[in-house]
Amino acid sequence: MVKFGIEFVPQEAYWKTIYYAIQAEKRGFDNLWITDHYNNRNVYVTLTAAAIYTKKIVLGPGVTNPYLINPVMTAQSIASLDELAPGRVVLGIGAGDKTTLAATGVEMRKPLTAVVETIEIFRRMMERKRVTFEGQVFKAVGTKFNFKPKGQIPIYVGAQGPKMLETAGKIGDGVLINASHPKDVDYAVDRVKKGVSEAGKKLTDVDVTAYASFSVHKQEEKAAKAAVPVAAFIVAGSPNVILERHDVDLKEADKIRAALKAGDFGQAFGSVSPEMIEAFSVCGTPDLCIEKINRLLKAGISQFVVGSPIGPNVRKSIDLISETIIPHFKK
Amino acid sequence: MAYQKIVKKIPVEKRDKLSDKLLNFVLKSKKEGEMPSGLANTILSKWQRGPLTTEEGLAALLEAAVLLESEKTMEFLEQELQLAAVAKAIKEAE
């Protein structure tokens, strides 16, 4: 049965995010993902609060990166969180976002290698081994915890490019595919399958997760309006190969990039077309969203993550998802 | 304490509507920095245990709404819910 996850960007006060986290648990969501960016609230502080105020929802960073948080410290944070919420902590790890990293003066060096090495260090640290590791990006020199981590933590790899997707299939317990459209998810699942088969695993051994920009409202126009800002940022951040896959005019995409860079949000958001919203979000009335999620299920996903903006009114949209969408898939 | 007394004046049949509206005010407020963490934690604890329509939950929510969105809250109490006595009690408690 498909799992439903929900993503929150901790850009508002902690109590708002935690209010929604409690609501998500009450309304039947299985997973809670908190994003990790230096310019928002801290991911582990947010997850700690969420762990305290919830009882069963599975939670973790979605995703953290190894450049701003050293793999050993990620292992320490996750192991500590797992003491607080035993058996319901997962790690989402990816290479990070180039623009955000650049703002902190950190270079995204060898992203694929960095993620692979992080997972290796993380797993060995969680086994409470003394870790000596000489990687191309990271080192550990006789590193060991003074405490015993409680359990094995499922690792989800945030992936978009072909190599990272294959690697996720090969070494991950899950993969977080940053995509909302069947074209992108089909492509991604094919790459994951390649990695899975190279590792001698089955696709069902990996929790294939579509991490989608999502917006639901009883009125389609209101759902679409809420999705516009996120669609603008996705278009601006997408490589041309993905834009071309969706027949997005590259000149229009450049216009959005330039407007966002100049801080002209009116111009940027005004340039977002209905086709862009369709390509980069799951958006509409509950019935439309069900139809779109069904297409992603056919592509092979096992978890669907409701990501930002969720809807014009987050609280009402969570209730709407719980009343109309989740029961459709979990009846 | 004052808010726990005040919410007793709110008829049970109006509490769902009030709770729903206050949640909108609080969660959409741009003055989130004015929320005391103790009060925020109280609201989260009550919410974790049940709906925010109980007297205790509603009292905490009402206090937060008055702190963050005083004007909107008073207007809603007086005009939409016709609870002038409640609005008056809040003003006296402040």
pLDDT, tens only, B31-72: 999 999 999 999 999 999 999 999 999 999 999 999 999 999
Q: Which residue of B has its CA nearest to A17?
A: B27
Q: CB atoms < 10 A from the CB of A157, how many? A: 30
- Tell me whether residues B44 and A15 touch, CB distance under 8 A: yes
pLDDT, tens only, B75-87: 999 999 999 999 9
Using DSSP bridges, classify how beta strands A131-134 and A139-143 pair: parallel, antiparallel or unpaired.
Answer: antiparallel
| Burial environment of residue A39 by CB neighbours within 10 A (0 to 12, 13 to 18, 19 or more) | exposed
- Tell me whether residues A12 and B48 touch, CB distance under 8 A: no
Position A246, amino acid: H
Question: Can you tell me whether residue A25 is helix, strand or coil?
Answer: helix
Q: CB atoms < 10 A from the CB of A56, how many? A: 9
Contact residues on chain A for B48, CB-CB shorter than 8 A: 22, 53-54
Task: Work out the pLDDT band at A66, boundaries 50, 70, 90.
Answer: very high
The DSSP annotation for B13-61 comes to HHHHHHHHHHHHHHHT-S-GGGS-HHHHHHHHHHHHHS-TTSHHHHHHH
| Burial environment of residue A190 by CB neighbours within 10 A (0 to 12, 13 to 18, 19 or more) | middle
- Tell me whether residues B40 and A54 touch, CB distance under 8 A: no
- Tell me whether residues B43 and A313 touch, CB distance under 8 A: no
The DSSP annotation for A40-93 comes to SS-HHHHHHHHHHH-SS-EEEES-B-TTTS-HHHHHHHHHHHHHHSTT-B-EEE
Mean pLDDT over A182-193 rounds to 96
What's the gap in Å between the CA of B67 and the closest CA on chain A?
Answer: 15
Mean pLDDT over A183-190 rounds to 96
Find out whether A283 and A215 touch, Cβ atoms under 8 Å: yes
- Tell me whether residues A19 and B37 touch, CB distance under 8 A: no
Q: How far apart are CA B74 and CA A31, in angstroms?
A: 38
Give the pLDDT confidence score for residue A151 in this predicted structure: 83
- Tell me whether residues A19 and B33 touch, CB distance under 8 A: no
* CA-to-CA separations, B72 to A90, A165, B62, B66, B76, in angstroms, rounded: 41, 49, 12, 8, 6
Instruction: Report domain extents, chain A.
Output: 3-219+282-330
Give the pLDDT confidence score for residue A8 in this predicted structure: 98
Give the pLDDT confidence score for residue B1 in this predicted structure: 67
Contact residues on chain A for B33, CB-CB shorter than 8 A: 13
Find out whether A89 and A125 touch, Cβ atoms under 8 Å: no
Contact residues on chain B for A23, CB-CB shorter than 8 A: 47
Chain B segment 30-69 residues within 8 A of A by beta carbon are 32-33, 35, 37, 40-41, 43-45, 47-48
pLDDT, tens only, A250-300: 999 999 999 998 999 999 999 999 999 999 999 999 999 999 999 999 999
Question: What values do phi and psi take at A263, rounded to 5?
Answer: 75, 15
* CA-to-CA separations, A168 to A24, A78, A134, B62, in angstroms, rounded: 27, 19, 22, 47
> Which residues, including other chains, have CB under 8 Å from residue B75's CB and lie 6 or more apart?
none
Q: CB atoms < 10 A from the CB of B33, how many? A: 8
Q: Which residue of A has its CA nearest to B30?
A: A12
Find out whether B30 and B72 touch, Cβ atoms under 8 Å: no
- Mean pLDDT (chain A) is 96
* CA-to-CA separations, A80 to A9, A202, A265, in angstroms, rounded: 22, 31, 40
- Tell me whether residues B44 and A16 touch, CB distance under 8 A: no
What's the gap in Å between the CA of A327 and the closest CA on chain B?
Answer: 21
Residue position matching structure tokens 């992108």? A184
The count of CB pairs under 8 A between chains A and B is 34
Tokens read off for A297: 């299920």
Mean pLDDT over A27-33 rounds to 98
Q: Which residue of B has its CA nearest to A312?
A: B28
CATH topology of domain A3-219+282-330: TIM Barrel (3.20.20)
Nearest to B47 among A13, A14, A19 (CB): A19
What's the gap in Å between the CA of A52 and the closest CA on chain B?
Answer: 10
Helical (H) or strand (E) element with A175: strand A174-177
Predicted TM-score (pTM) above 0.90: yes
Q: How far apart are CA A55 and CA A42, in angstroms?
A: 21
The DSSP annotation for A227-268 comes to HHHHHHHHHHHS-HHHHHHTT--HHHHHHHHHHHHTT-HHHH
- Tell me whether residues A314 and B27 touch, CB distance under 8 A: yes
DSSP state of A148: -
Look at residue A100 and tell me whether its pLDDT is greater than 90. Answer: no
Q: How far apart are CA A205 and CA A202, in angstroms?
A: 5
Give the pLDDT confidence score for residue A239 in this predicted structure: 85
pLDDT, tens only, A114-142: 999 999 999 999 998 899 999 999 999 99
DSSP state of A130: P
